[in-house]
Copies of this chain bind each other. A is one copy, B any other.
Amino acid sequence: MPEIRKDPVFGRWVIIASERGLRPNEFRPGAGPDGKGYLCPFCPGNEDMTPPVIYSLPGERGSWRLRVVRNKYPALVSDAAAGNSRSGIYDRMDGMGFHEVVIETPEHGRLLEEMPAEAVADVLKTFVLRVKEIRKDPRIKYVMIFKNHGRNAGASLLHPHSQIISMPMAPLRVMQEIEGAAEYHMERGTCVFCDIVKEEKEFKGRVVAENADFLAVTPYASRFSFETWILPKVHESHFEEMPERLAGPLAEVVKIALSKLAVSLTDLSYNLIIHSMPVQEPSAGHYHWHIEIMPKLTHVAGFEWGTGFYINTVSPEDAAEILNSGKKYKV
């Protein structure tokens, strides 16, 4: 049974999930990252290797084009109680929550940025549908949607997939982000993310992709080289409240941003995370959902992750220029 423990200094929650250590890792030496000699649980024909399907979209001739399944090695489980308990000076709770996997395509080696815009839009619409379903459970306070791509980003399977972790508390970093935005709003009366959109559209030197509804930029205080954020132009605090008509335009900007990263960075690994308000909270004027993409460059940095002290050796202006030029970045 996974356990959620609170750090007594920070108030930071950490999930201790020993069972997850047992999950297969295609990138482990000898396992064959190309899928050879390895039976992929996400490929068509291997559906019985995953827990039962939660949601799926039909493909041609009885097949599927997208599947959502429970994670076989979950970080959190639905049958745990969500009560707190104490052990000496320490707080803990059972690891209650849901951990789902979105298998984005039946094609094992297909990259998200190479998929047709409609298929990427289907993935985004599926995220929205799942959050709307999951938030009906009042125990769930936060739904984190993310995608780990590539060995350096901690992915354990090659087949394109995202993850949805639903938890009984909001992660500390999410709360700090919302508090920071609330402070900005109190001081200036505007949404900091709306102001970022305005500022970046004027400055132009950090814009990586843009259409009528979304803007992709390398943020001013980028922690990681080639870090890229995608911001909706119209204010909305909850990702799941995105109108369905915006899934297509968002898919377009995601595809452009990832394509540019894949061209400029050799063997691209990245974490893509959707930042949104806690699901039980009402709509807020001070917070604005967005996507953060953090490329993980091979053998660069490492120290900064986990210390909150960041040194970035590629300025966001240089990063945007490299991405927009289609040039290769030499690590």
Q: Closest B-chain residue to A312, C-beta based?
A: B16
Q: 1/0 per position for A139-168, CB-CB distance to B under 8 A?
A: 000001010100111110000000000000
Q: Interface size class for chain A?
A: 35 or more
CB distance from A118 to the nearest CB of B (A): 28
Residue contact B315 to A12, C-beta cutoff 8 Å: no
Judged by a CB distance under 8 angstroms, whether A222 is at the interface is yes
Residue contact B307 to A9, C-beta cutoff 8 Å: no
Residue contact B154 to A302, C-beta cutoff 8 Å: yes
Judged by a CB distance under 8 angstroms, whether A110 is at the interface is no
Of A174-182, A239-247, A250-258, the one contacting chain B is A174-182
Judged by a CB distance under 8 angstroms, whether A299 is at the interface is yes
Of A17-25, A35-43, A56-64, the one contacting chain B is A17-25
Complex alpha-carbon distance, A306 and B203, angstroms: 27
Most B CB contacts (10 A, CB to CB) among A13, A301, A306 go to A306
Q: What B residues does A304 contact at CB under 8 A?
A: 154, 306
Residue contact B331 to A28, C-beta cutoff 8 Å: yes
Residue contact A308 to B180, C-beta cutoff 8 Å: no
Complex alpha-carbon distance, A183 and B6, angstroms: 15
